[in-house]
Each structure stands twice: as structure tokens, then as C-alpha cells.
Amino acid sequence: MKLYGYFRSSATYRVRIALNLKGVAYVNEFVHLRRDEHQTATYREVNPQGFIPALEDDDGEVMNQSLAIIEYIDETCPFPPLLPNHPADRARVRALAQIVASDIHPLDNLRVLRFLRNELARDEVTVARWYNHWMAEGFKTIEAMLANDDRTGRFCHGDQPGLADICLIPQVVNAATYELDLSPYPTIQRIFGTCMGLDAFYKAHPQRQPDSE
């Protein structure tokens, strides 16, 4: 497996955790986001969207979009499973993941912050307000879904880490960017602490990547 990614990209971070949890060895192919290496013609041949991450499997097949990649990893390396067995429980875990992947992260990623700064001429105070607003909205929902459901265990769903934790933890790391106050989210904080005690999450952290600056 070859993973095209960047240490700071939280969508890449998700895939790193998934590969670690499965014990799948992979080769890093670094794509420097802030130097716009993702927008080169070479990289667009790998992924026409010019986004990271992309995963190339051992047959040379390239996949994009982190959640699609993680479901692929889960289907091709089933143990340990990243989703529970029961369809309604799977829907719960996928919904938690989707809140991060659809309702928080796309609003706060680099291309959108750049558009706010450059195209809409917004200053850094406004960008910070924007960033934390969408993160707080998403975390409020996730906290409510976790705190009020007895399916929450040591992790987002039960006592094994899975897809929801894989998406949540990189977003909590991102919360430091504009110093979002995490005190309203005690369950999220507790699960973050538990996950960071696991090698799969700890070793996937941006600051522990070879391309980290």
C-alpha cells in the first residue's frame, strides 16, 4: 500500500490511524500541501481532485476520499473491524464519522480558509471565528450523541476503537489551531485521552510523521 498524504492533513491522519489499527504496512508518498504540490499535473494523474489522501493498493488501483478509503481498508482487512455488526449501530458510527467529515472538516480546510482570506478578503480574526464556529457546532452534536447513548463505551462505540474515533481524534487535534475551548465536551475529551494511549493513534499524530516540520 502507498499512502499519498501530508503530516498536517487531518483526512490523511484518519487513514494513518486506520492502517495502524489494522497493522497494515504502508509506504508514505509525501505531498506538501502548503507548497501546493497537490495541485501539480503529476499529482492530478494520481488523484484528479488534487486532494490528499489517496491510497494506492498493491494492484496499483488508486482510491481517494478518506472515508471511502477507510471502508475499503475495513472490507479488505476485516480484523479488527472498524464498524460494529448491527446495521443500526453501523449507521450510528458512520453518522458520527460523517459529522466530522461533512459538517466540520470541509468548512475548515485549507482551500476554504484561503478562499475566505483571498477571495472574500476576510481577516484572521474572522477566519478564526469561522473555524471555531463550525467546529463547536459539530462537537456539540457529537458530545450530545456520545453522552446520551449507552452504546458509548471507552470509545465512541463500545470498548474497541473504530471509524468514529478515527475521524474524531484528528479533529480534536485540529481544535488547537485556533484554541477552541474543549471544556463543553467532556466525553470527547475522555475518548481523546483513551485513544492517545493507543499506539495506532499516537504514532499517526502529525508531529510524529517523517514530513513534519
Question: Which H, E and C letters describe the chain, residue by residue?
Answer: CEEEECCCCHHHHHHHHHHHHHCCCCEEEECCCCCCHHHCHHHHHHCCCCCCCEEECCCCCEEECHHHHHHHHHHHCCCCCCCCCCHHHHHHHHHHHHHHHHHHHHHHCHHHHHHHHHHCCCCHHHHHHHHHHHHHHHHHHHHHHHHCCCCECCCCCECCCCHHHHHHHHHHHHCCCCCCCCCCCHHHHHHHHHHHCCHHHHCCCHHHCCCCC
Which region among 1-9, 25-33, 124-132, 176-184 touches a copy of itself (by CB under 8 A)? 124-132
User: In this chain, which of 88, 125, 150, 159 binds a copy of itself, going by CB under 8 A?
Assistant: 88
150 counts as binding a copy of itself under rule CB under 8 A: no
Which region among 16-24, 55-63, 152-160, 203-211 touches a copy of itself (by CB under 8 A)? 55-63
User: In this chain, which of 46, 145, 169, 195 binds a copy of itself, going by CB under 8 A?
Assistant: 145
Instruction: Quickly count: other Cβ atoms within 10 Å of residue 159's Cβ.
Output: 8
CB-nearer residue toward a copy of itself: 187 or 198:
187
Please list the residues that pair with 28 across neighbouring strands.
Answer: 3
Asked whether 165 and 191 are in contact (CB, 8 A), the reply is yes
Nearest approach, Cβ of residue 86 and a copy of itself (Å): 10
39 counts as binding a copy of itself under rule CB under 8 A: no
User: In this chain, which of 19, 21, 67, 188 binds a copy of itself, going by CB under 8 A?
Assistant: 67
144 counts as binding a copy of itself under rule CB under 8 A: yes
User: In this chain, which of 141, 160, 187, 194 binds a copy of itself, going by CB under 8 A?
Assistant: 141
Which region among 25-33, 127-135, 168-176, 182-190 touches a copy of itself (by CB under 8 A)? 127-135
Residues making contact with a copy of itself (CB under 8 A): 48-49, 51, 57, 59, 61, 63-65, 67-69, 71-72, 75-76, 87-88, 90-92, 94-95, 97-99, 101-103, 105-107, 112, 115, 119-120, 122, 126, 129-130, 133, 141, 144-145, 148
